[in-house]
Chains A and B, each alone.
Chain A
């Protein structure tokens, strides 16, 4: 069936089978491979994108559910490498990633957190990251990155 939605501020219209997951549509049909599929069981959070402004796990949402809505992926955070989102800069500066697999989901979750809570403390960040799993860093630098990223987002707004 045909669906239309806004993807990173650009209108898209695609034909999908109703059983297509949003993560598969984004990666396989639309070739935006920044959104990662780690566990495919809604545990790990590597596939987190924003749908109508809320962070959701795109591996556990039908693509047809995005019809008429707004989807933002990690590619939609910045126009170029020279123009990174403050949260991306914070992850780079604070060594918030090692292998990078979980990073797209971490960024999308973190930015949604700051939207809801502009100045989160460490406990609030760790609580919010419940659904994002990292197997490299032990979260220490991710939390540090998000504190710095939130401060940068506050300064920019």
Chain B
């Protein structure tokens, strides 16, 4: 990889100052995506701003009825957190199945959602749970955050500091993982609250999206049988070496039914 100037600020303000107005600077959290990208020289920042020295960004806590997870919390820590397991077990379960254990020891939730890989797991949870993304300058609703493939509403130099998850009545995530990379070929997160059902799909399209037909069917009857007559339009889904769009469309429905069944069991 090309060399760079390495910075490890110890305050958020210092990190923001290093990133501000510098198009050649990139922040790094766990580096599980950025470092491989830099090795391939698809990214070659002049300045790398390591966020691992910032205090207070890896806390997990309840604020009222909201589960707040700091952006630098590692996947392994979300998976193992007694609080997450108690309050939002579907999220702990999702985190425990990202990549492999060594990746989960480095990768962070903030890094994952900021990268918005079309096959990443966390964006499905954030979108289905109607979470709020807290950044260094504002709070962004999940519906507004994930814009397109590898693109979010974050402005240059803006950093995610925490994700705020309202607690659902029941929720579950099921994915069909690529057996080599563990990325989702299709992953479906289903969340039911007292007022609504939200369903987010990852891995299948160019970016995470809500499946409105599935949501409508489940709002009428929150049961896997409610999805038997539903299918989703394959024309907007991805085709690649791993799976074509028709196959992904079928997988989405299979994962949706399984997620609903799992949510019913755990609820």
On whether the beta carbons of B106 and A61 are closer than 8 Å, the reply is yes
- Is B102 touching A48 in the complex (CB atoms < 8 A)? yes
- A contact residues vs B (CB 8 Å cutoff): 1, 17-19, 21, 40-43, 45, 48, 54-57, 60-62, 64-65, 67, 109, 112-113, 128, 130-132
Cα separation A60 to B35 with both chains bound (whole Å):
6
List the 9 closest pairs (A to B, CB-CB), nearest first: A131-B100, A18-B6, A130-B100, A54-B105, A19-B3, A57-B102, A131-B102, A19-B1, A56-B105
Q: In the complex, which of the residues B2, B48, B99 contacts A131, with contact meaning CB atoms closer than 8 Å?
A: B99
Binding site for A on B (CB under 8 A): 1-6, 8, 31-32, 35-36, 38-39, 48, 50, 52, 76, 99-103, 105-106, 180-182
Residues of the A chain whose Cβ atoms lie less than 8 Å from the Cβ of B1: 19
Contact A42 B3 (CB under 8 A): no
| Given known A1-B6, A43-B180, contact A65–B103 (CB-CB < 8 A) | no
17 chain-A/chain-B pairs, Cβ below 8 angstroms: A17-B3, A18-B4, A18-B5, A18-B6, A19-B1, A19-B2, A41-B36, A42-B32, A45-B100, A45-B102, A54-B76, A60-B36, A61-B106, A65-B31, A109-B102, A113-B101, A130-B100
B101 touches A62 (CB 8 A): no
Residue of B36, B50, B76 near A42 (CB, 8 A) is B36
Contact call A60/B100, Cβ cutoff below 8 A: no
From B2, B4, B35, contact of A61 by CB (8 A)? B35
Query: In the assembled complex, which residues on chain B have CB atoms less than 8 Å from the CB atom of A57?
Result: 102-103, 106
The distance from the CB of A116 to the nearest CB of chain B, in whole angstroms, is 8
* Complex: A19 Cα to B28 Cα, angstroms: 13
> Smallest CB–CB gap between B84 and chain A, Å?
17
Q: Is the CB of B31 within 8 A of A62?
A: yes
CB-based nearest B residue for A60: B35
Smallest beta-carbon distance B118→chain A, Å: 19
* Distance in Å: Cβ of A38 to nearest Cβ of chain B: 13
Chain B residues with CB under 8 A of A132? 100
CA distance A85 to B147 in the complex (A): 50
A-side contacts of B102, CB under 8 Å: 42, 45, 48, 55-57, 109, 131
Q: How far is the CA of A1 from the CA of B100 in the complex (A)?
A: 31
Q: Which residues of B sit under 8 angstroms from A17, Cβ to Cβ?
A: 3
Shortest distance between the CB of A59 and any CB in chain B (Å):
9
Q: Is the CB of B52 within 8 A of A112?
A: no
User: Which residues from A are CB-within-8-Å of B3?
Assistant: 17-19
Known A-B contacts A54-B76, A130-B100; the reply to A60 vs B2 at CB < 8 A is: no
CB of A146 to closest CB in B, whole Å: 13
Roughly how many angstroms separate A62 CA and B100 CA in the complex, as a whole number?
Answer: 19
The answer to whether A60 and B31 touch across the interface, beta carbons within 8 angstroms, is yes
Q: A42-B103, A61-B106 are in contact. List 18 more A-B contacts (CB 8 A).
A: A18-B5, A19-B2, A19-B4, A42-B102, A43-B181, A45-B102, A55-B101, A57-B102, A60-B32, A60-B35, A62-B50, A64-B8, A65-B31, A65-B50, A113-B101, A128-B101, A130-B182, A131-B102
